[in-house]
Every structure is written in C-alpha cells, then in structure tokens.
Chains A and B, each alone.
Chain A
Amino acid sequence: MTKVEFRESGLVVKKMKKINLAPENVDYCKSADYQDRLGDLPDCLIHHILSFVETKDAIRTSVLSKRWRHLWASVTCLNFSSKSFARLVEFKKFVLWVLSHRDSSQVKVLIYSRFGVDYATDQYLLNKVIEYAASHGVEEIRINLRAKTCGSPPVEIPLALFACQSLKMLEFKDCHPTNVSFPFGCKSLETLHLERFSMHPAAANFSNPFASLAELFGFTTLTTLHLNSFSMCYTGIDSLDPFGNCVNLKTLHLSEMSFQSDLNPKDFVISAPQLKNLSLMCNRFKCKIVVASPQLTNFSYLYSTRCSFLEFTLPSMDGLTIDIHELHDQLEKSPHKKRRDTLHGLVNMLRGHRNSEAVKLSFCTVAKKTMQFMVLTKPDKKRKTELNFYQILDCWVVTLANKGKKHNPIPVSSILIAMRQNAATREFYHVIDFASANGNVGLELPADQAEVIFIGTGTSEGVPRVSCLTNPLKKCLICSKAAEPGNKNRRLNTSILIRHPTSTGSHNILIDAGKFFYQSALRWFPAFGLGKDTCTNYGSIMESTQFGPFIKGYSGPGCCPVACVGLCEEDVTVFVIRTLDAVIITHSHADAIGGLDDLRDWTNNVQPNIPIYVAKRDFEVMTKTHYYLVDTSVIIPGAAVSELQFNIISEEPFVVHGLKLTPLPVWHGKGYRSLGFRFGNICYISDVSDIPEETYPLLMDCEILIMDALRPDRSTATHFGLPRALEEVRKIRPKRTLFTGMMHLMDHEEVNNYLSTLMESEGLDVQLSYDGLRVPIKL
C-alpha cells in the first residue's frame, strides 16, 4: 500500500491511499484523551456559542478565566434586550458600555429588542446601535420595538441603516420608517421581514401601498420577503401587482394583511417571476388573489377571509406542492363557509391544470392528523357534500402515505375525476387503484365515444321550485335538498346533448333549448362544468360531483354499467362543449324553445349559424314567439341576434351531420303533438301523455329509452306519471330506461331505490336520470 503522509494545511493529494488529516489545533494532538480537551474549545467555537446568547450573558463569561476575559469582545453577534434590565437607564448604560468596549471585529448580527416607551432614549439608543453596526459591516439586523403606547412619536429607522452596504437581512417589528424621501434605499438586502410596520403618512402612495416600501428596502434585490400584520390604504380599483418587479424573489410570505377600507383592489396579483415558495396565511383581503408566478413550487395556504378567493394562472403546476392548513380548533366550530372557501381556492387551482402530473397536495391541520380524519369522516348529513370533499383530500394524502407514492404522484386528472365522483371513499380508492394500475398515466378514454349528456331533467319551472323554498307554512323536503349544490334533485328544463363523433369530427346535437338553456350550458359546457366567473365555480364543482362513474369497468348502484364514458379525451384533458352543430325541437313549449335567443352567443362568437330542426306546427309558433329570429329582415341592421337556419321536419326520418334521427310522434296533452326521437337504438321521449299505436313499432329493439315521468303517483293531462311510464316500459321492453322531466315530487334517491327493486323483481333496468349524467352510446 502506498502511503503518503499528509501534513499541515497541504491538501494536495498525491498518489496516496491513506490520508491523515491534520488536526486544526496542535494542542489536540498532544492529548490522547479528547476528554481532557473540553476546556480547550477553540475560540471560534466559543464565539459561535456566545453568538447564540444575549450579549449580557456573553459578557458574564469574562469572569470564567483569563482566557475568557476578552473573548466576548469579538463575538460577531450583538444581542441587546431591554427585558434583561430592570430599568431603562441601566439598559442604556449597558448598551453604550458594550459599544465602547467591544473590539473592532465585525458585527455580523445585531439583535435589538426594546420593550418600552421612552421615546428620547429609544431613538437615541437605536441610532447609536445601528450606526455602530453599520460601521462594523453588519449583515443581519433584527429590531423589535414592542409595546409602543399610542401617542408617543414613532421611533424612526436611522438613516445609517439605509446607507449600509453590507446588510443582507433585515427584520423590523413595530417600527416606523424615517420621514425622508429617499434618493437611496437599501441596495443589498436579500431577506426582509416586516411586522406591524406602519408607513409614514407622508410617504404613503394610495395607488400602490407597497411602492414606498419597495423603494425604501430595495425590493428588487430581495430573495425572501415576509410581511406580517399590515394594514394598507388603497384607493385604486385596478389590480394590484406589488411584487411583479421583485425579479429575485424566491420566497414570499404574507400574513394578516388587510386593506383599511372597503376599497380593495380588483385583484391582488402575485407575479414575481422567480418565486418558488409562496405562503399566504390569514390574510384579510376582500378581493381575488391571483397567483401568477411561473416558477412556483411550494404553496401554503391558511384560510382566513370569507371574501377572498384564489385563482391560479400558472403555466404549469408540475412539481408544485400545495399545503392547505387549517387550524384544528377551527375545524369543528368554523363556519362551513370558511372551509368551503379554502377548498374553493383548491378547486380553482386544480381546474386550470388538468395535465399536471406532479402536483402534491397535502391537507394538514395544526393538530394531529388522526383527529382530523376522525372529524372529517364523522357522518354529518347537513354537510355531506363538503365532508365528502374533505374525505377525498384526506384519503388522497393517506393513500400516498400508505403506498409510499411520494415520488409517484397521481395525476391531477384522476383527482379531479375523483372529485367528480359521488365522492364516496370507496369510489375514490377505485380511482386511485385505477390510476396506479395504469402506470399513473391517467384515465384513457376513447375520444370517439358517442354519448348522451343530460343537460336538464326537470320540469318547466325547474327544481327546486322557488315557491317551495319561500313557503312559510310547509317545508318541501325535496326542494330543500335540491337547493343544495350537487344534489341530484336539482333539475333544469329537460334537454339532452348528443355527442356524435364522425370521421369529420365530433358533432354536438342538442335536443331542445328551453328557458334555462343558458344555465344548463353554463354548468355543463365548459370544462368541468365551470364557467369563467370564479364566484360560482365552487358551487358548480360540487354540483358536478353528480357525474356518474366513468371509470372503465366500473359500475355501481344507480349507475350505468358503463364500458367507458367520454369524460376525458386526448391527453386526459376534459373536453369543452364548444360548438352547437344542430338543435332539434321536440315541441314548441317554452321549456323546449325558450332558449333559442340564447343561441346568439354561439352564432356571434363560435360559429356562423346553427341549423334548427323543427316540425312545421312548432315553426309556426316560433314565428310568433321568436319572430325576429325567424324573419331577420325585421332586425335593425347590425343588431346581433341568433343566426338560425330553420329546417322543417315531417314525421319522416331525417339526417343531421350523418346521424339518422327518426321522429317518434306522441301526444303531449289532448290534440297536441310532441316529437320524440330515435337515434341508433336510443329513444328519447321527453314530453308525453300518450303513445299512439303507430309509434310503437318505431320503439322496437330499443336499447336505451329515455322517457318522461313527471310525478311519482299519477299521470297528468300532459305527462306520464311514474306508474304509467313503467307500464309503457314493460310494453316497449327496452334494455335500459332512464326517466326524465321529473318535477319536485320525485326524490332522486327514494324513487331510484324503489326502481332498483324492480330490477330484482322483474329484471327491469330503470333509473332516474339527473342533470349532468352522461351515458355512452353506440350510434
């Protein structure tokens, strides 16, 4: 073995196999037993230890021995606290003594805590201390001036501080800036903490409350900024983007920030270009917080304000860790709305980033996790939806922990899908399992899957009925339930959308555009049923949990045994229903044609026109109800109305974008015809009181029958009731039936439970549909 001695400081490594590292202190070598050396801590270690104690304590060590006599004088940390002195005059004497007896070595850190109210002394001492530190190359200053009584003049930051070029880190608590308009501010600061820092009134800029701070402390050089307990004045109405030019900022922490008046900026934008860590805790903004920093990797959020909500406009959330905090003691007592708003931000956050593969989500509480879990899973009927939601988040974390998937994150798309599920834990796990079984690529669903989407499944007035919710004498249980977001009793005007993929692309064919068409479209057409207005999004996502299961191979109670439903297509993005390629009218009642005018949004902004397929008698009604749409010559030139192309249909089959539709003439009240339609083996009859004999042959070999069933007890003059509808089902014998057009007496759960028993007794597969239900079909 080649052995080359290694000595002293020569770290030149020659061809050697053994290195003897030279001890730092020669004394150490002489002593074989290191225990003997304990008294011989090197000076640098003693300094290190003493830099963690108050200067007063450090000085006390000068009595230990002659060696220690002057060690304190070159400690690089000055730590003054008036708490350790009974009287201010002693504190002052002490501080001045230290400054005059210290040697000339660098002061790296200055910590100064003053808990008193003597203005003259405070200002004098602070000036002295900061001047001293600034002239000794100070790198870090922490000043805490607590317990200022109001009325006493504020202690101002000495000018010397701003001239100090060595300063890297600054922390101020309860200070006031100097009343000087600065041609200069800090130029070298990297870290800044400000707590309860009132701006000098003369320096206040109401159009940007941060402007003077930014100037004073040189925001552009900062890498870390903590702002705590700020009350700001803002009089503008524009968006406020105070950190946009903090080009070096990596970490931003805002807590307990608020605006003094009700005047809040439109949006509070956080757009620092390099920002990696963002933490928003207990802020009381009454405005939207827009997180738009492209480099963000960690985000912590503790909810506090009802009025604020979050929007994320990040290019990618890959690798982003999101921490949602919530104080445990708030959890049980906290108003519902609070938790909801916390989640609100979360939902919005995930909404825009379905493709992100590596968002880590952790939902933690300050208290024990297990407790949280118990609280969250405790059944609570009133707050069912929300608890489910929590459950999902929690389960996700638990799942990650259990399976050790720390570096194998589940795609956000699956999470969203999970959220859209009925939200039961079991189903959620199903999603997780599915996702992991498929190598975490998300759910692959064929893009060319035809489907029927139930845009509305209720009566003309909609469920809940307003009159039920305002009735002081009688509480309508079903309408009360329907008023909750996400409840399946919530129904708008009966309508379906057929998605029909062909070689030339997918066509969206709408059957009926009733009075509530706009609301239905708003809810279901954009991705995840979410519109642009974030205020309504939270409700919508909860509502959208009522989507049926769309996991391959999964079928559950009350759900279609789907092979696969086209929720997601290409790249697991959720599709948006953009175009309306045709509208087919069943009859000319307001709940079928009332939305024709709303189609102007499509013809003005999406496509040149929409073909309407309508029977002659119904077209004649339209010439009266929508005369300006039928005969556009009455329109003032330039006015934007719906561009509709009317195609009159008879009772003969017709073809729309390659899809053959066969009218199914039925009675909708005595002497009034309504049309059902058959496409492929699906028959859709939304409004019917009687089926003429000649129509039955058209219903043969039906796979899915979608039919009117207004109320549970009896039929009316214009609609089937449940008994009659079932009778017709037995006669038509479709493979599967979904009822639609239900009024408020039909409780989704209750009726479906009853209908499930028919499966057992008679083999009838009959269920109620609901708004948002999607059923895959073969065309």
Chain B
Amino acid sequence: MAEKASPSSNSISLKTVDGKIFKVSPAIANQMLTIQPLIKDSDSSTIISLPDVAAFHLTKIIEYLEGKPAAAPSAVDAFEAQFVKDLSPEELKGLLIAVGYLKVNGLVDLMANTVAKLIENKSVEYVRKFFGVVNDFTPAEEAKCRQEHAWAFDGVDED
C-alpha cells in the first residue's frame, strides 16, 4: 500500500468521453477536485472515465495546470491571458463545462470570468445565442419582463 500512496510512483489514467486516455501525474490530477478522492486508491492500471470531458478540453486543462507559473502574480496574469486568448466562444463554453465538472483549481474562476467578460453589456439576443438558450417566453411575457427591468437595458452594446 505504501508504494501506491506515494504520489510520484504512479501516473493516473484519465479517459475522456471521446475515448482518449491521458496519463497525468498525481500532482496534476490532485488539482481536479472531483477526481481527487479517487487518486489515492488508484494505481497505474486504474482508468478513470470522465463522461463530461472531451480530449481537447482535458488537453487544455493539463496545459493550464502544468504551465501555470508558481510565483509572481503578474506572471500568472500573463499566462492566463495567453491561455484564453485563442479560444473561440464555443471552446470557451465547452472548457467551462469540463472545468466546472472536474472542479479544476483556479481554472473555474478564470473560465467563468472570461465568459463573463464576453457577455458583459451584450444584448439579450447575443447572450442567448452565446449560451444556446432557447427563448421559451411568449413575446408578451418577454416584453413584460423587459419592462420590469428597463434600467438594465441602458447602454447595451449593439452587436
């Protein structure tokens, strides 16, 4: 049991929803709070299936966890800005769900904040499209709702 507990001796296998298997070090896996409790009892032959995570997202998550600088806040900021820079809105959303599911340290805040920035001051239609929300209000209901919060619609960007 002792060797099993030692974190450096075995890597953790993670299987994504699209069938790819990733081997990560326990140090990395430990930062995914959802799978954390499983790590200490697993050995190198254990495969943990992640039904909500695609290979692309897990790649990004591992990239983040491995690349994040340990020290200076300014370096972390720069790294995070670079990390989200090239992600499309679609990728952002997918990654947010994966990250939210795995409860990845630090990355949940980063993704949520990035998405928040994208929808800030955007029109209802834009945000609906962004989140893929189907409008189930009747036109009358929606108008009433808008009326209720009329002040909320000042200064919204045109898209």
Contacts and interface: CB of A to CB of B under 8 A. Distances in A.
Interface of A: 1, 11, 13, 16-24, 28-29, 34-35, 37-39, 41-42, 44-45, 48-54, 56-57, 59-69, 84-86, 90, 93-94
Contacts of B38: 11, 13, 19, 21
Of A23, A57, A63, A90, the most chain B CB neighbours within 10 A belong to: A63
Contacts of B101: 23-24
A16 B46 CA distance: 8
Of B108, B115, B120, the most chain A CB neighbours within 10 A belong to: B115
B151 A65 contact: no
B46 A17 contact: yes
A44 B97 CA distance: 11
B124 A60 contact: yes
Nearest to B96: A45
A69 B137 CA distance: 10
Contacts of A41: 93, 96-97, 100, 131
B46 A18 contact: yes
Nearest to B34: A21
Of B35, B54, B101, B142, the most chain A CB neighbours within 10 A belong to: B101
Contact of A28 (B47, B52, B131): B52
Of the four ranges (under 10, 10 to 19, 20 to 34, 35 or more), the interface on chain B belongs to 35 or more
Contacts of A51: 112, 116
Given A38-B131, A64-B124, A93-B151, A52 B113 contact: yes
Nearest to A23: B51
Given A11-B38, A53-B116, A34 B133 contact: no
Nearest to A60: B152
A139 B45 CA distance: 43
A49 B115 contact: yes
Given A41-B131, A64-B133, A85-B151, 10 more contacts: A1-B45, A11-B38, A18-B49, A23-B52, A38-B94, A48-B100, A53-B119, A60-B149, A61-B127, A65-B128
Nearest to A28: B52
B137 to A, nearest CB: 7
B131 A64 contact: yes
Contacts of B93: 38, 41
Contacts of B108: 48
B61 to A, nearest CB: 15
A541 B115 CA distance: 54
Contact of B133 (A29, A39, A56): A39
Contact of A21 (B51, B127, B153): B51
A65 B115 contact: no
B154 interface: yes
27 contacts: A17-B47, A19-B47, A21-B35, A28-B51, A28-B52, A29-B51, A34-B17, A34-B52, A34-B94, A38-B97, A41-B97, A45-B97, A51-B112, A53-B116, A56-B152, A57-B120, A60-B124, A60-B149, A60-B152, A62-B145, A63-B137, A63-B146, A63-B149, A64-B133, A65-B128, A67-B133, A84-B155
B134 interface: yes
A28 B101 CA distance: 11
Contacts of B149: 59-60, 62-63
Nearest to A20: B49
Interface string B91-115: 0011011001100000011001101
B37 to A, nearest CB: 5
Contacts of A56: 151-152
B121 interface: yes
Of B47, B109, B121, B152, the most chain A CB neighbours within 10 A belong to: B152
B96 A66 contact: no
A59 B152 contact: yes
Contacts of A37: 97
B58 interface: no
B124 A63 contact: yes
Given A18-B46, A21-B34, A45-B112, A13 B153 contact: no
B151 A39 contact: no
A60 B151 CA distance: 9
B84 interface: no
Contact of A86 (B34, B142, B153, B154): B154
Interface in B9-51: 17, 34-35, 37-38, 41-42, 45-51
Contacts of B131: 38-39, 41, 64
B100 to A, nearest CB: 4
B88 interface: no
A65 B133 contact: yes
Of B37, B38, B116, B146, the most chain A CB neighbours within 10 A belong to: B116
Nearest to A42: B100
A336 to B, nearest CB: 28
A24 B50 CA distance: 11
A52 B142 contact: no
Interface string B65-105: 00000000000000000000000001001101100110000
Contacts of B17: 34
Given A34-B94, A44-B100, A50 B52 contact: no
A23 B49 CA distance: 10
A69 B145 contact: yes
Given A37-B97, A41-B96, A53-B119, A20 B151 contact: no
A418 to B, nearest CB: 25
A27 to B, nearest CB: 11
Nearest to B135: A65
B3 interface: no
Contacts of A69: 145
Contacts of B142: 63
A69 B90 CA distance: 24
Contacts of A39: 131-134
Contact of A34 (B46, B54, B137, B156): B54
B159 interface: no
B42 A13 contact: yes
A325 B151 CA distance: 45
B136 A90 contact: no
A56 B147 CA distance: 14
Contact of B132 (A28, A38, A63, A84): A38
A743 B67 CA distance: 63
A29 to B, nearest CB: 7
Nearest to A53: B116
A118 B117 CA distance: 31
A11 B119 CA distance: 37
Given A45-B112, A48-B112, A49-B112, A65 B136 contact: yes
Contacts of B54: 34
Nearest to B142: A63
A57 B131 CA distance: 15
A122 to B, nearest CB: 19
Nearest to A86: B154
Contacts of B96: 41, 45, 49
A59 to B, nearest CB: 5
A85 to B, nearest CB: 7
B45 A53 contact: no
Nearest to A48: B112
Contacts of B45: 1, 17
B127 A64 contact: yes
